[in-house]
Amino acid sequence: MPDLNFQVTGIEPAARGLTPLLHFSVEVSNRLPTERIQAIMVQAQIQIQAPQRPYSEREKERLEDLFGTPDRWGQTLRNRLWTHASANVGQFSGSTGAILAVQCTYDFNVIATKYFYALEGGEVPLLFLFSGTIFYSKADGQLQAEQIPWDKECVYRMPVKVWAELMNHHYPNSAWLSLRRDVFDRLAAYKTKFGTLTWDEAIERLLRYDQEER
């Protein structure tokens, strides 16, 4: 029976992705090198190991929306789910490589986006939890199927700049906010009332008004 190990070995942005997409390179190896693996259907849950890195004072301020003030981090700073990814692995013996494609978003209602954006540099410790199905041939040639054990996991430290450069490529000098329809309607009415030419100008006017009121 196969005994597989998974190790994330690298990361790069998709070369021609129409939307932000990261490719994680995964090495898959079998402890029984002569055993023939016919195929693997791999799923991975990817978690952000937030407690496993240090934070600057500015980063702590920007992360209050997620974890509260630093004096509460002993209770609130926990692993957070980023996303799920999957890959199909073809025939091999010994070891082979696979690509986990991860779709990224710049929606600031998403926890992972808020977290990555708050970081000024360094690395993000990621925990990959693997599951799925292994198809392999027994000595008599009979095809067998086994589930990937739930204890198969690995850690990879993703450079923050990889995510930041991907976002800058797809959304240069911009960010995205998702608003409720009624809030958008009010903002649109405000924009029309004061004759602002762009949404940026409308929001800047509101921010100036808020600062003057203080």
The residue among 93, 87, 1, 85 whose CA lies nearest residue 38 is 93
Q: Where along the chain do its domains lie?
A: 4-170, 181-213
Convert the pLDDT of each residue in 184-198 to its tens digit. 888 889 888 888 888
CATH class label, 4-170: mainly beta
Region 63-79: what's the mean pLDDT? 94
Angle between helices 111-118 and 160-170 (to 10 degrees): 110
pLDDT in tens, 20-32: 999 999 999 999 8
- Give the residue with greater pLDDT, 128 vs 32: 128
pLDDT tens, position by position, 42-54 = 999 999 999 999 9
Mean pLDDT of 146-172: 94
In the chain, count H helices and then E strands: 7, 9
Check pLDDT > 90 for residue 63: yes
